[in-house]
Every structure is written in C-alpha cells, then in structure tokens.
Chain A
Amino acid sequence: MAAIFTFYQNFLYPSAAVNLYCCYVIIDEGSGWYGLALFWLKVFTIPMLGALFHLSRAERLHFFHNLGYSTHRLYTLTALFDLGIWLLLVIITAQLV
C-alpha cells in the first residue's frame, strides 16, 4: 500500500484538480444526473494521466518493479486507489449539499 501511495503521488496534482472540479460541479449543480457524467470524466482522465506518465517517465517504474509490482498491477491498483478517493470525495460532497 505504501508503494501504491508513493506511486500515486506522481498524479496527485492533476488528479486532485479533477476531483475538486467534480466536487465544484456537484456543489454548483447538485448531484442528479451529473454524477454519472462526472464518473465518466474521472474514468476518462485516469488512463490519460497514466498514458502521459508512461510516455514521459516510464523509467521510474523500475523502482516499483523492484518492490514487486509489475507495470500492469501498479497502474491497475493506482487507478483503483484514485477512483476510490474520487468516490469518497463525491459522496461526502453530495451529502453536504
């Protein structure tokens, strides 16, 4: 888990920007049908960020390979972790508005 969180830090700022935008839309427009659209926005941005990282900084993966994570496993677990954080934030925001 520490390795996944460490790897996730590579995406922290752009991912946080997407999450905050989603929260802003929910606060502004309500949770209604936007929820589904925001879910697909998040699902679309996760592989985009992963692809950008892979194209520009793939050599950094060796560190995580040595920790026992194959490229596929590393990206999958990090995507799920990111999606989990997004879901948590969206649920909390929806309950507050």
Chain B
Amino acid sequence: MNDILEFDGIELQYGARTILSGIYMKCPVGNIIGILGRNGSGKSSLLKVVFGSLRVPVRSVRVNGQYLAGDYMKKRIIAYLPQEDLIPPNMPLQRALRLFDVDKRHILEYFPEAEPFLSLRSRELSGGYRRIIEAIMILHSKATFCLLDEPFTGVMPVHIEVLQHVLAQAKERKGIILTDHLYRQVLSTADHLYILSDGRTFAVKDPEDLVARGYVHAL
C-alpha cells in the first residue's frame, strides 16, 4: 500500500483574522496535489504548518494514520521548497547537494546545462536556474512527501516543461503537494486540485470551480 500524508484540524489566526480553519487534505504517494488560492489565502502558511516549521496550537498531520507529534522534522519524511530561495546565497551548489544527499547526476539527468553552475555559489545563479535546481534537489531528497511553494515562478517556459517531467517521474515514488499562481501549469501537472478560500479547502472537480470561487475571471 502506498504511504499517505493526511492533515486536518489546522487552526491558524493572525490577530482577529482566521487564515486556516476547515482544512482536510490527503496526499498518497503516486499523486500530485495542486493547491490554488488568492494572495493571502494561506497556501504558504498551510505548507509550513504541514512541514512543521510554523507551529500552530491545533493541527493534525498524519502519515499512514500515524499522528506526527512534536519535532517531526528530524524524521525527514517531508521536504519543503519555500517560496523564497532555499539554498543560502553563499553556499556552493555542490555542497548543498551533498548536505541533501542528492547525487549531482540526478540534476544533470534532467538538466544537463546545469553542469557549469554546480561549482558556483547559489547567489551567482539567475533566479530561474536556482529555482529549478532547488526544486529538482527537493524532489530527489530522501523525503517521501514534497511540498513545493511556487516551483514554477520565475522559471522560463522550456524549463517549466523540464520541471513538469521531473515531477511526473518523482511522483512514482513520492507524494507531492504544490501551489503556484501559474494555474495552467498547476492544472496540467496535478492529479487532484484543491482551492483554498476563506481558510477552507474545497476540492476542484471542474476547472469552472475556479471561476465560481473567484480565483480567475474566465478560463
């Protein structure tokens, strides 16, 4: 049976404003789950809560029905690509790959033009190159589940296709949750789609739901 990541009961408030309240989502290995939502709807916060870097008073994150309690980051079951740069600016890419225990061949397999960049420091790369290398690195980490916050943003179209190919290959051994405002790319990549609105998740059965929920004016 494939591993399943599930989460619900997440409550997050900033002051009087409720960001997350009625959340339920599950992500089995072999699936890519897309999350769409307007700016400030809590997509990034949700991923951080599930990853464990944002502590909230109430949350239930489970793998195969087992509740993940306390500091579960050390188990490295879940990897997270943040919206911001992942690799510290002064760090050579090769060292980052070594720390993540990712063989550089995994990067070069999909992205051979990255060869000359691997000896550079993260800050010496353009934002788009850095983003795709970081995303591939996360997708080849040991974690069973990967949370990707805006993996397509800043990446040029030809590399988005490469990244979609990497995602399709990675999902055979991982469960992946991704969110991005490039919704056409999310629609074409994800197996299941949710929209985050008013702090709650709604399953998207039909792309028309995006219009109904006010995420896009027209498809």
Which A residues are closer than 8 A to B by beta carbons? Answer: 2-3, 6, 9-10, 59-63, 65-73
Which of B26-34, B74-82, B187-195 lines the interface with chain A? B74-82
User: Shortest Cβ distance from B215 into chain A, in angstroms?
Assistant: 26
User: Shortest Cβ distance from A78 into chain B, in angstroms?
Assistant: 14
Per-residue interface assignment for chain B, residues 71 to 102, with 1 indicating a CB less than 8 Å from any chain A CB and 0 otherwise: 10111100110101111101100011011100
Task: Give the CA-CA distance A59 to B82 in the complex, in Å.
Answer: 9
Contact B80 A62 (CB under 8 A): yes
- Tell me whether B138 is interfacial, beta carbon within 8 Å: yes
Q: Given A62-B86, A63-B86, A73-B71, are A68 and B99 also a contact pair (CB < 8 Å)?
A: no
Chain A contact residues: helix, strand, loop or mixed: helix
Contact A63 B74 (CB under 8 A): no
Q: Given A59-B82, A62-B86, are A68 and B76 also a contact pair (CB < 8 Å)?
A: yes
> Which residues of A lie under 8 Å from residue B90 when comparing CB positions?
9
User: Shortest Cβ distance from A9 into chain B, in angstroms?
Assistant: 8
Task: Give the CA-CA distance A93 to B14 in the complex, in Å.
Answer: 51
* Chain B contact patch, size range: 20 to 34
Which residues 98-120 of B sit at the A interface, judged by CB distance below 8 A? Answer: 98-100
Which B residues are closer than 8 A to A by beta carbons? Answer: 51-53, 71, 73-76, 79-80, 82, 84-88, 90-91, 95-96, 98-100, 138, 141, 143
**Extra pairs beyond A62-B86, A66-B143 (11, CB < 8 Å):** A6-B91, A6-B95, A10-B88, A63-B87, A63-B88, A63-B96, A65-B52, A65-B53, A66-B76, A67-B76, A70-B71
Contact A66 B100 (CB under 8 A): yes
> Which residues of B lie under 8 Å from residue A10 when comparing CB positions?
88
